[in-house]
Structure 1
Amino acid sequence: MISINNHQQNADELTPDLTPLLDIIFIVMVFLLLTATVKIKALDVELPQTATQILQTTKADPITINLVAAEPYWALDGQSVDNWDNFSQQLLAAVKAHANKPVVIGADKKASVEQMLKLLAFLQKNDIKATQLLMEDQQ
């Protein structure tokens, strides 16, 4: 059994050494600060949920955007456009002229994901609502 002789030890000698505990607390704080500042960039895209909704929301004569796997990547209403600048200007003009028409995006299976993200970012930046993304059913 441990006995403490009050005459030989001061009260200061009975307190525990907190230096290792403080070191651990500071290490954990630095770890949390470094991991908490990571920002995840995402693009908000609203996609149709089911095939039945796609059929119900289809309107006559939409503005169609096509993404092709090879250059030129872009087509607007069936007409290919040679570069991005011309395509974006023509798309803005078409949406401005026919504001009530829905926008339909049809992408080739082998089309570049980079081109699709560029298109979606452009649509979001200009507040153009793409009502449909055309996809082929898996059978």
Structure 2
Amino acid sequence: MIKSPEASQSAWRAMTPDITPLLDIIFIVLVFLLLTANIPLQSLEVDLPKTDSEALSAVQDEKSMTINMMAGSPAWALQGEKYEDWAAFKPVLESNLEALKKAELMLASDGMVTVDNMMKLLAFLQEHEIQATQILMEEE
């Protein structure tokens, strides 16, 4: 008996399994693995004091230097002298390195300052091994 090619092809399709549900499961597992993969984050370690807010000390003006970070322009200030951007401020910090290392350094930041500006300054201080730093806080 002679079979037509159409009959054998439709019988072959009926015998093969449908892999659509398998592909759906593989896709879901792949998406789950991509979303839960570990992404390396860059961080800068900051040592915070282990005291409560009542034990915070007052600022001593005699041997202190203050770096201000402000939102907007000018963005930086050292001892009240203002600078427009980090490119203008960094050379001033480098020229005052010895004074910064000897003095009690205080960081005063506006609440709207970006984290990028804070990280630039903290990285600079860590790079030049300036350790005596206080962050000024406003009382509520």
Instruction: State the TM-score, normalized to the length of structure 1.
Output: 0.62
AA at the equivalent of 1:136: E
AA at the equivalent of 2:108: G
Q: Which runs of 5+ in 1 are unaligned?
A: 1-30
Contact 2:101 2:130 in 1 (8 A): no
Say if 2:73 is the partner of 1:75.
no
Say if 2:119 is the partner of 1:114.
no
Distance 1:56 1:101, change over 3 A: same
* Number of equivalenced pairs: 106
AA at the equivalent of 1:114: D
Superposition deviation, residue 86 in structure 1? 2.6
**Secondary structure of residue in 1 paired with 2:57:** helix
**Secondary structure of residue in 2 paired with 1:99:** helix
Superposition deviation, residue 67 in structure 1? 0.4
Contact 2:109 2:136 in 1 (8 A): yes
Equivalent in the alignment of 1:99: 101
Contact 1:67 1:106 in 2 (8 A): yes
Equivalent in the alignment of 1:17: none
Superposition deviation, residue 103 in structure 1? 0.9
Contact 1:62 1:103 in 2 (8 A): yes
1:85, 1:94 → 2: CA distance? 15
1:107, 1:130 → 2: CA distance? 17
**Secondary structure of residue in 1 paired with 2:102:** coil
AA at the equivalent of 1:62: S
Equivalent in the alignment of 2:40: 39
Equivalent in the alignment of 1:7: none
Superposition deviation, residue 59 in structure 1? 6.1
Superposition deviation, residue 106 in structure 1? 0.2
1:121, 1:81 → 2: CA distance? 19
Contact 1:63 1:76 in 2 (8 A): yes
Contact 1:47 1:132 in 2 (8 A): no
2:46, 2:61 → 1: CA distance? 21
Residues 1-139 of structure 1: pairs in structure 2 closer than 5 A? 35=37, 38-48=39-49, 49-55=51-57, 58=60, 60-97=62-99, 99-138=101-140
AA at the equivalent of 2:43: A
Contact 1:68 1:74 in 2 (8 A): yes
Contact 1:67 1:107 in 2 (8 A): yes
Distance 1:127 1:98, change over 3 A: closer
Instruction: State the TM-score, normalized to the length of structure 2.
Output: 0.62
